[in-house]
Amino acid sequence: MMKRVKTVACGRSTARLLDVAEVFAGVGVSREESVVRPGERLAVIGVRDLQDGAVAAREALDTVGFSSPLKAATYAVQVDDVLVTGRGTLLKFGLVGDETVGAIASANIIVVRPGPDVAGGALFAILSSDVFRPKIEVLRRGATTLLSLSPKDLAKLEINLPSRNEQERIAALVKDAQIAYRTALEAAEIRRSLARRLIDARLFGDNQNN
């Protein structure tokens, strides 16, 4: 059960993450099992599917067989869930959008599901910020090549939340920035592809398809 948060100056409030959000790890599946595991195949989110603050769309994810899809649905992500890598060499974050809803979080992913008084985009901005990231980094344990983060440890961290109106404004800025970033990447990829075609045409002319 989420608890009441403490109000501080400037309309901000302070609380442990567990007081304002659900924090849990995904279901255990391995990449090897994605090929042979029997059952209904569902899209699964792994560490590599978190890139530049976004989460890959369902159609781009690996699928894994689940004998009990209903049980697996417990780990299905929702819009505005914040995803954090629980295991891996890099600490990565992702904000779930419509294109990923319903995919299953793997055990390498920690899901931070904002409560009713928290905007997911604002929570993502806090956790992934240069100010807050070091607080999470110190909680990671293990060998230098593979560090792990406990959902329980993450949930105990204290965060400062602005007013709900300010959260909504921050969340809108986060989403606008992500859209602009993806659009710029897509445009750059199109320009690079066109440039390659032009270069090939100049180098090889009609012989490039022979």
pLDDT digits (tens, 9 = 90+) for 134-184: 999 999 887 666 788 999 999 999 999 999 999 999 999 988 888 887 788
> How far apart are alpha carbons 108 and 110 in whole angstroms?
7
End-to-end CA distance of the chain: 67
Q: How many domains does the chain have?
A: 1
- Has residue 5 been placed in a domain? no
- Has residue 1 been placed in a domain? no
Q: Which residue's structure tokens are 């806090």?
A: 126
pTM above 0.75, yes or no: yes
Q: What is the CATH number of the domain that holds 167?
A: 3.90.220.20
> How far apart are alpha carbons 101 and 93 in whole angstroms?
16
CA angle 124, 133, 137 (to 5 degrees): 130
- Has residue 89 been placed in a domain? yes
> How far apart are alpha carbons 200 and 90 in whole angstroms?
38
Q: Which domain holds residue 63?
A: 10-209
Helix and strand numbers (H, E) in the chain are 7, 15
- Has residue 2 been placed in a domain? no
